[in-house]
Chains A and B, each alone.
Chain A
Amino acid sequence: MLYISNFMLELNNIIMNKTKTMLILMLAGTVTFTIGLWLYSTKSELSIIEYTIAGLVLVVVVFSLFIGFKRLKDVKKGIPPEDELSVKIKQKAAANAFAFSFYLWTMIVIFIGDKEMRPTIPIGIGILATGILFLGLWAYYSKTGLGNGDTN
């Protein structure tokens, strides 16, 4: 009985891990498709800011694809794609990116808040920059670890 329940738990774990990975890949695919469609269908000449936004989105997408395929490979090898340390690293990176984003939004308001542009552009820049900040912090903490004081 215990063996069956363990097996079911293991099976559920594998399915959940695969589902989460597939969701990441699907999301990355959708964003890439939307950006491609936008670049293809846009008639007017794109400004430097719009090219920058497209570039930043691509960075996020490439990173997501990298993570998605890495997770898929780990699941196939029987390695857990997430464990207590990786979850804590993600949480710390997210918390710090959120805290830094306040400074970022302040800078956006100061430097480009008054400029004549569609309001979606500064909002897009802010969201993307926060995302990039999260990825940078995540990569940094993944390399250096959390240190002893931060983990519990």
Chain B
Amino acid sequence: METRIRELRAREKLTQEDLAKKVNVRRETIVFLEKGKYNPSLKLAYDIAKIFNLTIEEVFLIEK
């Protein structure tokens, strides 16, 4: 699954650590999310989308 987290984070001038602290996860989780190597739980996807004031499907691009 691809995500726009890196791009959105850069736009908001947030580091991986800042975002991790905001959504209460470890920095490694953000690293794997950005690389597309981890499918987050619905709650984490929602929390991340909320930080950027977007919907889940605007942040996480699900391949069909």
Contacts and interface: CB of A to CB of B under 8 A. Distances in A.
B38 to A, nearest CB: 6
Contact of B25 (A83, A142, A148, A151): A83
Contacts of B28: 85-86, 142
The A interface, classified by DSSP as helix, strand, loop or mixed, is loop
Interface string A119-152: 0000000000000000000000010111110011
A151 B26 contact: no
The residue in B1, B36, B39 that gathers the most chain A C-beta atoms within 10 A of its C-beta is B39
Interface residues of A, number: 17
Nearest to B63: A148
A82 B39 CA distance: 17
The B interface, classified by DSSP as helix, strand, loop or mixed, is loop
Given A78-B21, A79-B21, A148-B1, A85 B26 contact: yes
Given A79-B20, A148-B1, A152-B41, A85 B25 contact: yes
B29 A83 contact: yes
Interface of B: 1, 20-21, 24-29, 32, 35-41, 44
13 contacts: A80-B26, A82-B26, A83-B26, A83-B29, A85-B26, A85-B28, A86-B28, A145-B35, A145-B37, A146-B32, A146-B38, A148-B1, A151-B38
**6 closest cross-chain pairs (CB), A and B:** A145-B37, A83-B25, A151-B39, A85-B29, A145-B32, A83-B26
Contact of A84 (B20, B25, B37): B25
Nearest to B43: A84
B29 to A, nearest CB: 4
Contacts of B36: 148
